[in-house]
Amino acid sequence: MLDKRIKNIYGIVLLFASFIFFSGKDIDIVVKKKDDKIKYSVSDSLENKSYDELWKLFVTHYKDSVFAKKISNTYLNRAKNDNDVIKTANGYRMFFEINADDPKIALVYVDSMIAITKGVKHEYYPARGHLLKGYLLQKTEKFDQALEAYMLSKKYAEISNNMEHLIVIRHNIAILKTAIGKDSEALETYKENYNLLVTKDIIKKFRSEYIGTLYQLSDSYNRLKKYDSAHFYLKKGIKATLSGDKPYFYTNLLSSYGINSYYRKEYTTALDSLKKSLALSDRKKPFITYLYLGKTLLKLKQEEKAIDYLKKVDSAVHVSNYSLETREAFTLLIDHFKKNDDKSNQLRIMEKLITLDSSFSIKNKRLHIDLVKKYNVKLIQDKEELINSIKNQSETTINRIWLFGGIVVLIISLGYFYYYKRRKIGYEKTYKEILLSVQKKKQKTKDIELAPELKQEILKRLDELEKNMFFLKNDLTQSNVAKKLKTNSTYLSRIINMDKQKNFANYINDLRIEYCLQQIKNDKKFRHYSITSMAKEVGFNNIQSFVKAFYKQKGCNPTEYLKSIEKH
C-alpha cells in the first residue's frame, strides 16, 4: 500500500481545519442562504454592529469575498483601535479564511495571528495560529515544517486544556504520518482520538470529529490490508453519520466502503457504494472513486464500462494533481490498449505515465524514490519493446521517446544520489531490523485465523479486564491472562498483535504507563511517591523496566516529567 500515501490529505485536513476556523465559545455558527437585499442593506451600517454581529455576518457571507472583506476590515480595524489582542487575532483569522485557497497570502495573516498572540494565555490562542499554519504548510506539502507547527500548537493547546484543538492536531499529525508511509503510527493516533472521544463521552459535542475519526480508522485499516477491521469501523461510521442532522463524511465513507468491499471480493456491493459516493460527491475530481469503479467493473467482466472510468482518470490527472495512488489507472489502460493492439494509445499512456512519475519523484524527493525507480525501470523496458514493435514510426516520435527515457534515467540517478547523500547507513540498518522484527511477528501468526465472533468475544472480555485494571498486578503472564479470558496464549497473542498493533509485553506496559500518567495528573499524593514506589504501584517489578517503558511513551524519564508538571 506504499502507493497510497496522499489519499484525501487536503480534503480531510480542510474539514478538520474548518472546524477550528469557526469554533469556540465566542462564535455562534448559523450558516444561512444568502439574501443579497439583506446583505447590502447592512453593509453601510457595519460600524454600528457589535463584534458578535460582525462575526455572524462573516460566517454567513464569507464566500462572498467583497462583502466578507468589508466585514473583516471593520472588525480588524475596530479591534486594533480597542487594543484587543484576541479580537485582533480573530480579525486576522477572517482574512485567513477569505484567502485559504492561496496559502502564500493566507500564511501572512496566520503569522500576524501568531505574532499578536505571542505570550498570551487564552483558550484558543496562540494554539490556533500554529494549527492553521500547520494546515497551510501541510497543504503545500511542506510536511516537516507542518509537523513543527502542529507540535507547537499541541503544546499550547495542552496548556490551555483545549480539547477541540488537541483532537484536530492529533488528527492532522496522523494524516501527515499517512502521507509519509507511517500507516501503523497513524492508526495508533486515530485510535487515541477515538478512545478520547468515546471515554470522555463527548461524541455528541464533537460529532463531526468522531465520524471523521471513524472514517480515518477504516481508511488506515484498508491501507494495512486489515479489511475486516476496516469494515467494522465503516459500518459504525455510516450508522453514526446517518443518525444525525448532517451526514458528515458520508461521501468519503461510501467511497471507502466501496473500496473495502472490492478487497473483500463483494463486487456488487462495491459497485453500488462507489456509484452512490460518486453521485453525492461535491469534489470536482474524485479520481480514486473512478479508479475503483473501473477495477470493480473489470472484476464483473464489464470491461467497456470499466475503461470509460479509467479514461476519466487519464483525462483529469496531470502533473500538478498526480499521486502514486492513481497510478494503477494508467497501468490498467496500458494493459487494455496492449491487449487490443492499440499501439498509439499504449505509447501515449506510457509517455504520460513516465512524465507523471518523473515529476512526482522530483517533487517528492524524500518520498517514494525507490518506488518510482522500480516502476519506471519496468515501464521504460516495456516502452522500448513497444517502440521496437511499431513499424514506420516517425523519426520525431522515436527521438521524443528516447528523450523521455533519458530524462527519467537522469532523474532516477539524481534521486538516488540525493537519497544516499541524505540518509545515513544507520537508517537502513534500523529499517531492516524493524522490517525483520515485523516479518518474524507475521510469520508466527500468519497461519492463525480467528472467527470474527470469537475475536469479538475475547476483545470484549479483554476490555472488561482493562476496566478492572488487571494490568496493575506484577505477576502477569500471557498464559494466566489467556486463562482469565477463557482462551489460549496463541489466540491472545494474535488478537493483541492485530487489534492493538503491539505485542503482549508492550500492551501491558502501555496500559500501566497510561494509568501512571492519570495518577500523576489526578492524585497529588501519588506525585510525591518515589520512582520505585510508583513503579510497584502500577505493576512493574523493577524500576528499570518502568523507566524504559515511561521513556518510550513520553520521551522523557519520570523525574523529568514530574518536574515539567510542577512548572505548569
Q: Are 283 and 294 in contact (CB under 8 A)?
A: no
Record the pTM. Answer: 0.53
pLDDT average, residue stretch 224-244: 92
The DSSP H or E segment spanning 359 is helix 343-363
Task: For the chain, report the end-to-end CA distance as a whole number of angstroms.
Answer: 43
Residue type, 413: S
Q: Are 71 and 61 in contact (CB under 8 A)?
A: yes
pLDDT of residue 425: 45
Give yes or no for residue 492 having a pLDDT over 90.
no
318-335 burial, b at 16+ Cβ within 10 Å, e below that, comes to eeeebbbbbbbbbbbbbe
**Cα(255)–Cα(187) distance, integer angstroms:** 19
Q: How many CB atoms lie within 10 A of CB 51?
A: 17
- pLDDT higher for 166 or 126? 126
- pLDDT higher for 489 or 538? 538
Q: What does R_g of the chain's alpha carbons equal in angstroms?
A: 27
Selection from 125, 178, 224 nearest residue 13 by Cα: 178
Measured at the CA of 392, the angle between CA 388 and CA 393, to 5 degrees, comes to 65
pLDDT of residue 443: 46
Give yes or no for residue 29 having a pLDDT over 90.
no
Of 60-74, 218-232, 306-320, 439-453, the poorest mean pLDDT is in: 439-453
Q: How confident is the model at residue 413 (pLDDT cuts 50, 70, 90)?
A: low
pLDDT average, residue stretch 250-274: 94
Of 105-119, 224-238, 359-373, 425-439, the poorest mean pLDDT is in: 425-439
**Cα(397)–Cα(526) distance, integer angstroms:** 77
Residue 4 is placed in which grid cell? 497510497
pLDDT average, residue stretch 372-387: 52
pLDDT average, residue stretch 130-149: 85
Percentage of the chain with pLDDT > 90? 27
pLDDT of residue 562: 86
Residues 174-195: pLDDT tens digits?
887 776 667 888 888 888 888 8
> Mean pLDDT over all residues of the chain?
78
pLDDT of residue 287: 86
pLDDT average, residue stretch 374-401: 54
Domains detected in the chain: 452-567 (1.10.10.60)
Residues 31-87: pLDDT tens digits?
333 344 444 444 457 888 888 989 898 888 877 888 989 999 999 999 999 999 999
**Cα(556)–Cα(545) distance, integer angstroms:** 14
Percentage of the chain with pLDDT > 70? 74
Q: What is the dihedral angle through the alpha carbons of 449, 451, 452, 453, rounded to the nearest 10 degrees?
A: -150
**Cα(29)–Cα(210) distance, integer angstroms:** 19
